[in-house]
Structures are given as C-alpha cells and as structure tokens.
C-alpha cells in the first residue's frame, strides 16, 4: 500500500494525502479527517526509506558498545531505548567486542546517513580516533558515554571516575589496607586512567608509597585474567586490598580467591565497580562503586537528540558527569 493507491481510493492527489498525513495547514480539516480515517482503515504506513531518502533523516540512532553481557551496558541501552521510543526514534545496536577494527568498520558503515546520530562507548583498544572524526566530518552528531576519549570534541557523559577512584581507595585504606592492587583493563581507556589517577593520588595523600607492580593490566579474557590474578595472589607479599576497575575483574578476583582459599575480607579486601544486582548476595557481599547506568543512557540519548534536532544549538555541555555511589558491604569489612 503506497500513497498512489491510497490517493486513488479517496480521489485525491498524492500530495494532498501526504500533506494531510503530516497535518499540513494547506489541507482543510475535513479532508484531513477523511484521510486519517482512511489511513487507519487501510492500515497505511509511510515507507520509511522513501521518506528518509526524501527528507535526509532516518529517525534512527546507533549505539556502539564494546559488549552487552555486562549489566552496565545493558542498563545504559535500556535508558537509551526509553528516550528513543519517546522521541519516535529507532535504535541500532553494534557490538565491537573490544576490537578497534570492528569499531572502525562499524563507524565507516554509519557514515552514509543510515543514522541521524551515534552514541559510542569506545573499545578498550581504541587509541587512534580518526574513524570517529570521520563521523563528525560527515555531519553526524556523536555522543560519548562512559568510555570517552579526550581527543575529540563531542558531548561526553560519564561518572565521576577520578572521584570514585579516590572514594574506593580511601575506603580500603580506612578499613586497614596498606597494599592495594589496582586491576585495570586497558592503559588507553579514559575511565581506567581516571580511576587509576584517583587511586594514585589517594595513596600519595595517605603517604602510602606507590608500587607499580600493584597496577595490574588485565585482558578481556576471563581465563587469562585468572592466571594473572593467581600469580598476583600467590606471591608471598600479596596485596591486602583489591580495587577492581571493572565488574568482571571483581568477579574474577572472587573466583580466584575461592580457588586459592583466600578469605575475603580477612585475608584481602575487595571493592569494585559494578552494577550487579547480586552484589549484596555474594559470599561475602561485594562492596561496590555503582554507576547510574540507566541514567547515563538516558542522559546521553537526550543530549544526542538535542544535538540532532537543534543543530547549531550551543547550550550542550562538553562534559556531563553523573555521580556514582559507593556501597559498603562485607568484602571490605575490617
């Protein structure tokens, strides 16, 4: 069913029907009503491709994320989708699996106008950002969330990572830790580095000397990380505190401690970034820094939509920071 047939049914012109459907003032109320009624009767839906082609607008955004089986990103998407649905937008999902190559190929594909805007949380391997610059050059609005990069000017929605790094480290120190390991995923991830900076500065302020053997670079692979952590925890001078900069690493630490029979929190205390509902049900319950993932998704989407709809509008802050919260549980108890 297309406009041509539709128009014929009503003995109207294609343009009249089109205008009526878009509630144009050029069409009388009477015919508008007639058209609307007929549209309902025929279950007429405009062809999105014809419409997008003509209007040069897709009413679609893309969300590019490194992984989805991670409550943080799942919740962020939930937030995005909520706003998108309100605004009548469609949401395309692309997973990069932490692979820059995939990130590059995805952004290339998105340059052709398929989407009106892009939200991205960069992969942990991303250093060169020319592919993202490419999007901007093609006039496609871009918003970063959580995993941002300083190298490009665009709205960025994050949590207070530096501050959270401080809070987590202070929390461990207050509970008696003196030798705190920082588990990181990548040296070129802004969130990792900011959290690390908070950790380093807090050690300094507490006159604990910084030992770079305690900055543990982990990988994306759980089994590999287990090996790395086993090596760390089997040392005779093993750390007495662990600050996991991402959820997965906190869990891996738990698993390794179980295997090595290391008691949390007696032998070692753990705090980690996490959005797990089960944090409080773990054995022992896990002290966490929780990011407001859903709100981040909503906020990022809102900003993207104003970017799309009010091009030229200058009131959008480059950085939006939403605070995360520290929840103290048994894994850090004295």
Chain residues binding a second copy by CB under 8 A are 43, 45-50, 52-53, 58, 60, 67-71, 74-75, 77-78, 81-82, 85, 90-95, 102, 108-109, 111-114, 134, 251, 254-255, 258, 276-278, 280-285
State yes or no: residue 13 binds DNA (CB under 7 A). yes
* 156-169 CB burial, b ≥16 within 10 A, e <16: bbbbbbbbbbbbbb
Helices (H), 113-246: 130-137, 161-174, 190-205, 222-234
Look at strands 117-120 and 142-145 and give their pairing: parallel
Q: Which is nearer to DNA, 137 or 224 (CB)?
A: 137
133 binds, among DNA, a second copy, none (CB under 5 to 8 A by kind): none
* 197-214 CB burial, b ≥16 within 10 A, e <16: ebbbebbeeeeeeeeeeb
95 binds, among DNA, a second copy, none (CB under 5 to 8 A by kind): a second copy
21 binds, among DNA, a second copy, none (CB under 5 to 8 A by kind): DNA
Cβ 181 vs Cβ 229: under 8 Å? no
109 binds, among a second copy, DNA, none (CB under 5 to 8 A by kind): a second copy
- Binding segment (CB under 7 A) for DNA, from list 23-31, 84-92, 189-197, 265-273: 23-31
Closest distance between a second copy and the C-beta of residue 198, in Å? 26
Q: Which is nearer to DNA, 90 or 179 (CB)?
A: 90
Closest distance between DNA and the C-beta of residue 114, in Å? 12
Collapsing DSSP states into helix, strand and coil, what is residue 309?
A: helix
State yes or no: residue 223 binds DNA (CB under 7 A). no
Q: Which is nearer to a second copy, 94 or 262 (CB)?
A: 94
d(CA 29, CA 71): 49
Look up residue 233 and give its two tokens: 């925890």
Q: Which is nearer to a second copy, 142 or 196 (CB)?
A: 142
42 binds, among DNA, a second copy, none (CB under 5 to 8 A by kind): none
Look up residue 238 and give its two tokens: 């093993």
d(CA 204, CA 173): 12
Closest distance between DNA and the C-beta of residue 89, in Å? 16
CA dihedral 122, 123, 126, 129 (to 10 degrees): -30
Q: How many CB atoms lie within 10 A of CB 290?
A: 19
Look up residue 129 and give its two tokens: 């950002």
Taking CB under 7 A as the rule, which mask of x and - marks residues 42-61 in contact with DNA?
--x-xx--xx-xxxx-----
d(CA 156, CA 153): 9
Among 28, 130, 206, 283, binds DNA (CB under 7 A): 28
Chain contacts with DNA (rule: CB under 7 A)? 1-4, 11-16, 18-19, 21-22, 25-28, 30-31, 44, 46-47, 50-51, 53-56
């Amino acid at each position: 069913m297309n406009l041509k047939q539709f128009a014929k049914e009503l003995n109207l012109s294609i343009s009249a029907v089109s205008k009526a459907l878009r509630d144009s003032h050029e069409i009388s109320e009477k015919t508008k009503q007639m058209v609307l009624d007929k549209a309902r009767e025929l279950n007429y839906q405009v062809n999105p491709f014809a419409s997008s082609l003509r209007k040069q607008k897709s009413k679609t955004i893309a969300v590019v994320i490194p992984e989805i089986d991670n409550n943080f990103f799942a919740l962020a998407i939930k937030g995005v989708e909520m706003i998108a649905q309100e605004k009548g937008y469609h949401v395309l999902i692309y997973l990069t699996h932490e692979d820059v190559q995939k990130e590059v190929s995805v952004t290339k594909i998105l340059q052709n106008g398929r989407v009106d805007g892009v939200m991205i949380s960069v992969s942990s391997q991303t250093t060169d950002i020319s592919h993202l610059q490419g999007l901007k050059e093609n006039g496609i609005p871009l918003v970063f969330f959580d995993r941002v990069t300083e190298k490009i000017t665009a709205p960025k929605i994050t949590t207070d990572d530096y501050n959270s790094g401080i809070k987590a480290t202070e929390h461990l120190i207050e509970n008696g830790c003196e030798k705190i390991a920082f588990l990181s995923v990548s040296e070129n991830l802004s969130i990792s580095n900011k959290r690390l900076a908070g950790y380093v500065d807090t050690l300094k302020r507490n006159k604990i000397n910084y030992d770079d053997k305690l900055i543990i670079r982990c990988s994306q692979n759980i089994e590999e990380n287990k090996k790395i952590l086993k090596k760390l925890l089997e040392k005779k001078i093993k750390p007495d505190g662990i600050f996991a900069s991402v959820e997965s690493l906190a869990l891996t630490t738990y698993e390794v401690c179980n295997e090595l029979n290391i008691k949390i929190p007696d032998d070692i205390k753990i705090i980690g970034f996490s959005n797990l509902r089960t944090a409080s049900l773990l054995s022992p319950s896990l002290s966490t820094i929780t990011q407001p993932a859903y709100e981040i998704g909503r906020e990022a989407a809102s900003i993207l939509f104003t970017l799309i709809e009010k091009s030229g509008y200058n009131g959008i802050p480059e950085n939006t920071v939403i605070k995360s919260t520290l929840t103290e549980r048994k894994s850090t108890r004295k």
